[in-house]
Structure formats: structure tokens, C-alpha cells
Amino acid sequence: MSGSLEMKTPLQDTGGSALDRAVEQIEGLLAGRYVLSKRAIARLLLQDDEQIREMVKVRDARAYEQVERIVVAARQSYSDPLDYVIAMRRQQEINDLLQDVVEPAGARKSSFAETLSRWTMNPATGIPILLLVVYLGLYKFVGQFGAGTLVDFLESHLFDRHINPFLIEVVGKLTSQPALRDLFVGEYGVFTLGLRYAVGIILPIVAVFFLMFSVIEDVGYLPRLALLIDRLFKRIGLSGRAVIPMVLGLGCDTMATMVTRTLPTRRERFIATMLLALAVPCSAQLGVILALLHGHRLALAVWAGVIIAVFLFVGYLASKLLPGTPPMFYMEVPPLRLPKISNILIKTYTRVVWYLKEIVPIFLVASVLIWIGQETGIFAWCINLLKYPVRLMGLPPEAASVFLLGFFRRDYGAAGLYDLNDAGVLTGVQLVVASVALTLFLPCIAQLLMNIKERGIKTGLLISGITLLFSFGVAFSLNAVLQAVGAVL
Amino acid sequence: MSKPKVVLVGNPNVGKSVLFHNLTGVYATVSNYPGTTVEVARGVGRIGTQEFEVIDTPGMYALMPISEEERVARNIILEENPSVILQVIDAKNLARMLDLTLQLVEAGLPLILVLNMMDELRALGTRINIGILEKRLRIPVVPVIATDGEGMDLLQQRILDYVGKS
């Protein structure tokens, strides 16, 4: 934009308050070229905008010191932060501006949607509604339908009976080298493990979760949930805003970690990333764990109780230990509406595609890495090492390989546990302890990479270290407690 | 010469992505939670013979950024040298959303205010006097219903007016 286009706006103050004088003085001092008007630059400087300050330091190097003095002086003449003073003034301007512009609504009838909307946000009615949504959406639809019926069909029928035998036969004909055979169709083969887990177990669960998420998103439930849960989240250093990454994390923690970008402060982003890594199980894990604990109601309750307790405790601890101010929260609440099928399908589709592009290659690479680890013996060495902490948790040594697999894909690990249970080697207590440890265990490799990408290498590794420590610590203590009381689950 | 740029800004959940789609014909995920437009969508639109680049920004509440998304949105304004900025707002929340409008006007940016969701406003029985609003803000104000394309003709005309000027 050309420098001559200094628009005269109707918002210019003519009064002689300290703020206006400061704005005028700064405007007079600025000589550099900015995209924004000098008046806007002056206001942003008064609001303590770091990026603009750096810009002015460069473009008006000579005047900068004087500008800074004016800013400091202006700040001292108000008891409130200038940001607030400026916002209040603008609100006044808006009120004046809207005189006679908006014709007020007539007596509005309270529709059913509005009543329902109020119910979702009032704790007395909102919490039962939330529980209903969790029960129907998560437990019934994702857990029983997705992880039960669909996985059963895809994995047990399609893969175990048709695809895998076919592939094993084909590979067997192509090569007689045992190592190569193992790579593709062995115990941890690219096809028999990688593809089977990715397409047969994880995909249906994730797709069903995303479908459910798209529905509650499209009807406008998420912002209401955010308001409902804001007070609780404030206790753990977050705000209602964090509801979205947290709920999304129940689908895919890696995706959710990326979405923590929407949180305003670094402190909130850190806490959210850590909670996602530690105590928010993704839909794949959730599905497998629900299937695993199916029929052990008490075990399921213990697992859920422990995970929720860890979530709240770690959040509370983090909010106490980390420096910084508690978050502010403000969110639009759009009207509740009936979901649009086309919206839901497109949203689900784009998320599933994202997931497939991101995840399936990692599964395949993980299979190859495991194969290399096995061929070279590194894998066996690691499993032997892991047997110690696994034994400390009261688990059979076979579970060690599950934890190692778990690092490559957390849901991989959960699925490995499933196999172990099918073999009938776990008792109820062991099942719960293993489920807890695996839920809390190190994020999968994709999430680890995302943690590092979003939070930086130091913080990303720190979060992973804390997660590792916590998962073994909690599982160990849980086992000790359950053994001590002689629980049978 | 590169194409003139049209930049969409505004709070989250006001229909920017739908408007972007209307202007470009390329789909960007429609969403009512902050987060999906973290990545900036770009597309090419055409009005008559004039081609232009359309940029959809992450949600922003104020010119001074608090979140990373807002920082991204402002950097686009600062660095991309837009010919026109469309601030999309939810017409039902005019009073609250004018806050950003005033800041953009004060900054001297080439702004068009797009009042979206006029159907929902009408359903509430509320009316906005566009004429007075335009006079007081001294920028074009265009009412639209992005989801069914109502008002798009006028909006495109207003965009052309600006692009022609620059």
C-alpha cells in the first residue's frame, strides 16, 4: 500500500487524554514505512506488542528510544494495563457506532434448541449429558461397534482367514529365504503385522471415532463442552479451549498434539502436550483396551479411575509447578443445529485420509525396524532389558515385547496385549496393570516426533522421559496395591 | 505481475472457509472449532476476467496476536501485501466482532466487512442497517449467506472495485 493512503478514520480521538497524546507523539516520531498505519503501530506499541517493537527498532532506529520513553510514561499514567484501557475505549466507540444500526429483536421465543443448549452448559444437567455422550459415542459406538464388531470382521475374518494365508502362500512361493519371509509374513512382518494392524484393527476404530467426533463437532457440542468443563480445566492449568485437543486426542494423540497450537500460552501448550502423551489414550488404544477388558467390569472401572486420577493429578501438579499466569478463556458459542450429513462425511473423510497418509507408512516402517532389530538381536536385547521393569509390575515376561512394540506405535502395543490375552496368559489384575502401563507408556513414535516438532527437542524429550517414569511408577504401585488387598478382577 | 491478493480474516467459526470455497471453488475443510485452519489455505479465484489469489487465514480476534494462529494471520497481512482484506463476521455477533474491524480500519488496510450468516440473523428477527454502518465505518459492508451463495455477486463487485483501484 502506498504511504499516501493514510485513511482518516471516524475513530480518531480528539480528547486530550494521556493515551491519545502518547499515540500522537509516537505517530509524529515514526518515519519508517509500515504496512499498517502509524496510528495502529503506535497503539500496538502501547499494547506492548513484541513483534511490532522489534520492527520499529529496525525501521525507526533513531527514534526508538524516545518512543520507548513515551510508552513507559503512558503506562505509568494508568492503573490498568494499556491493553485493557484501549479495549474499553474501543468498546465505547462500538456502542456509539452501532446507535440505530441494529434493530433489536422482538420478543424471542425460547426454542427447544436453546433449551437444550442451556442444559449442555449447566453442570447439573450438562454432566449427565456428557456422560451419556461418552457412553453412547465412545463406549457403545467406538468401543463395541468399532473395536468389537468391525475389527472382528476385518481382522479375524478378512485378514486371518483370507488375506494373510494368501500372502503367506505367495511369499512362500517367491522366496525360500527365512529372513526375507519373516520380513513380509513373519510374526512381525510388514504384511502379517504392519498391514493387519493398520487396516484390520486401527483403521476401523479410528474411522468410527472420527465419524463420531465429526457429528458432535457439527452439531456444535464442542464449544458447549468447553464452557462446561472450563472450571475443572482451570484447576489443571488449562482452559475450556483445551477441550478440543483433549477430545481429539481420544481419536489420535498425534493429531491432537498438533492442534495444541490453538492454545494461547506456551504454558498451556506444554501442559496439554504432556497430558496427551501421558494420560489420554487414543482411539486405537481405547478400542483395544475396551475390547480387552470387556466382561471385566471392575477391571475397566479400576483402569478408568487410575487414568483419570493420573490425568488430574499430573495436570494439577504441572499447573502448580510451572511458572506463568492461569489462562483466560473466551469462546464463541454457535447455535446448536442438526448435523449436515455432507459436512460430517467430508470431515471424517479428510481426517481418515490424513491418518492413513501419516500412519500407515509408519506402521510399515516400524515393521521393518522390528525385523532389523530381530535379525540383529538388538530387539531381543531390549526385550531382555525390559523384562526387569515388566516383572516388577507383576507381569509375565512375554509382556516385554508388547512394551517395545508399544513404542513404535502405542496402539501396536495395545494390539499386542490383545494377542497375549487371547493366548490366555493374563489374570485380571495383570490385565489392568498392563492396560494402565500401556495407556500411560511412552507416546508412539509418531507422537514423539510430533512432540519434538511442536515443543522443541528439549521439551519433547523431557515430556517423554516424564511419561516413561510415570507409566512404570504408576503400574508398579497399582500392582503392589492390588496384590496387597488381594483383588480379583 | 503477480495476481492481486484477497485475504480472508476474522474470528474462528464465522464461515471463512465456506467463503473461501465460494470464491475459489476449491474445498477447504469446514469446521466449527479452532484448529483446522491452522494451515493457511490458498486458491485462485476469478471475477470476470480478473484473476486473483485468495488466502484463508487462521482465526484472529485482534490485531495484536495472542495465539500462534493469530500471529500467522497477522503476518499474512503484514507480509503478503493484500489488495483487499475481507473481514468475515457472524452478523449475529456484530457488536463483539466490530472490535477487530475498528482495528483494521484504524490500520488503514483496504477492508471489506462481510456480514455472514444473515439467514440466522433474520431468524432471530434482527435487522442491521447496512447503509448507516457503511457510512460510519467508511468501508464497504456486504451482507451474505456464505452457505447458499447469497450476496456473492455484490461481494465480488466490491472486490473488483478495490482491485481496480490498486
Read off the pLDDT of each residue in A257-282 and give the average, rounded to a whole number. 87
Cell of B121: 440473523
Does the structure show a pLDDT above 70 at A373? yes
User: Bigger pLDDT: A169 or A367?
Assistant: A169
Please indicate whether, in this complex, the C-beta atoms of B138 and A5 are within 8 angstroms of each other. Answer: no
Could you tell me if A338 and A283 lie in one domain?
yes
Could you tell me if A137 and A282 lie in one domain?
yes
Contacts of B140 (CB under 8 A, 6+ apart): B112, B113, B134, B158, B161
**H or E element in which residue B84 lies:** strand B84-90
Judge whether A304 lies within some domain: no
Q: How confident is the model at residue A8 (pLDDT cuts 50, 70, 90)?
A: very low
Q: Among A360, A386, A404, which residue terminates a domain? A: A360
User: Bigger pLDDT: A441 or A5?
Assistant: A441
Task: Of B15, B4, B7, give the one whose Cα is nearest residue B75.
Answer: B7
Task: Of B33, B52, B34, B77, give the one whose Cα is nearest residue B155.
Answer: B52
Q: How confident is the model at residue A443 (pLDDT cuts 50, 70, 90)?
A: low
User: Bigger pLDDT: B28 or A421?
Assistant: A421
Could you tell me if A84 and A153 lie in one domain?
no
Phi and psi torsions of B143, nearest 5°: -80, 135
The predicted pLDDT at position B36 comes to 36
What is the identity of the amino acid at A274?
A: M
ipTM of the complex: 0.89
Judge whether A437 lies within some domain: yes
The predicted pLDDT at position A274 comes to 92
Could you tell me if A382 and A350 lie in one domain?
no
Q: How confident is the model at residue A64 (pLDDT cuts 50, 70, 90)?
A: very high
For the beta carbon of residue A473, count every other beta carbon within 10 angstroms: 14
- Domain around A230: 120-293+324-360
CB neighbour class for A179 (10 Å; exposed up to 12, middle 13-18, buried from 19):
exposed
CA distances from A305 to A309, A360, A432 (A): 6, 32, 11
Give the distance from residue B161's alpha carbon to the nearest chain A alpha carbon, in angstroms.
16
Does the structure show a pLDDT above 70 at A409? no
Q: Among A360, A384, A418, which residue terminates a domain? A: A360
Could you tell me if A356 and A366 lie in one domain?
no
User: Bigger pLDDT: A129 or A442?
Assistant: A129
Could you tell me if A124 and A56 lie in one domain?
no
Judge whether A465 lies within some domain: yes
CATH code of residue A38? 1.10.287.1770
Which of helix, strand or coil describes residue A67? Answer: helix
Residue pair A326/A237 in contact by the 8 Å Cβ criterion: yes
Highest mean pLDDT among A127-136, B21-30, B105-114: B105-114
Q: Could you read off the pLDDT of A311-327 as tens digits, one per residue?
A: 999 999 988 888 877 66
Q: How confident is the model at residue B37 (pLDDT cuts 50, 70, 90)?
A: very low
Does the structure show a pLDDT above 70 at A107? no
Among A90-104, A168-182, B19-33, which is the least confidently predicted range? B19-33
CA distances from A229 to A126, A329, A361, B10, B40 (A): 9, 12, 36, 26, 30
Does the structure show a pLDDT above 50 at A10? no
Please indicate whether, in this complex, the C-beta atoms of B33 and A217 are within 8 angstroms of each other. Answer: yes
Does the structure show a pLDDT above 50 at A292? yes
CB neighbour class for B166 (10 Å; exposed up to 12, middle 13-18, buried from 19):
middle
Cell of A437: 502401563
Please indicate whether, in this complex, the C-beta atoms of B126 and A10 are within 8 angstroms of each other. Answer: no
Q: How confident is the model at residue A410 (pLDDT cuts 50, 70, 90)?
A: low
Give long-range contacts, CB 8 A cutoff, 24+ apart: A463-467.
A463/A270, A463/A273, A463/A274, A463/A277, A464/A277, A466/A274, A466/A278, A467/A274, A467/A277, A467/A278, A467/A440, A467/A441, A467/A442, A467/A443
Percent of chain B with pLDDT over 70: 90
User: Bigger pLDDT: A330 or A396?
Assistant: A396
Does the structure show a pLDDT above 50 at A205? yes
Residue pair A231/A243 in contact by the 8 Å Cβ criterion: no
Contacts of A342 (CB under 8 A, 6+ apart): none
The predicted pLDDT at position A447 comes to 79
Highest mean pLDDT among A77-81, A362-366, B125-129: B125-129
DSSP-assigned states of every residue in A130-164: HHHHIIIIIIIIIIIIIIIIIHIIIIIIIIIIIIH
Does the structure show a pLDDT above 70 at B30? no
Could you tell me if A381 and A414 lie in one domain?
yes
Distance CA B101, CA B87 (A): 7
Chain A residue with minimum CA distance to B65: A49
Does the structure show a pLDDT above 60 at B31? no
Read off the pLDDT of each residue in A334-354 and give the average, rounded to a whole number. 84
Quote the number of domains for chain A. Answer: 3
B48: left (phi over 0), alpha (psi -120 to 50) or beta: left
Residues 77-116 of A with CB under 8 A from B: 83, 87, 90-91, 93-95, 97-98, 100-106, 108
The answer to whether domain B5-165 has CATH 3.40.50.300 is yes
Could you tell me if A339 and A238 lie in one domain?
yes
The predicted pLDDT at position A134 comes to 85
Could you tell me if A435 and A334 lie in one domain?
no
B132 contacts on A by Cβ (under 8 Å): 100-101
Mean pLDDT (chain A) is: 82
Give long-range contacts, CB 8 A cutoff, 24+ apart: A85-94.
A85/A19, A86/A19, A86/A43, A86/A46, A86/A47, A87/B99, A89/A13, A89/A19, A90/A11, A90/B99, A90/B102, A90/B103, A91/B99, A93/A11, A93/B102, A94/B95, A94/B98, A94/B99, A94/B102
The predicted pLDDT at position A170 comes to 86
Contacts of A387 (CB under 8 A, 6+ apart): A397, A400
Among A396-405, A449-458, B109-118, which is the least confidently predicted range? A396-405
Residues 74-113 of B with CB under 8 A from A: 74, 77-79, 81, 90, 93-95, 98-99, 102-103, 105-110
Distance CA A319, CA A234 (A): 9
User: Bigger pLDDT: A346 or B100?
Assistant: B100
Among A27-41, A463-477, B26-40, B110-124, which is the least confidently predicted range? B26-40
DSSP-assigned states of every residue in A272-291: HHHHHHHH---HHHHHHHHH
The predicted pLDDT at position A24 comes to 92
Judge whether A7 lies within some domain: no
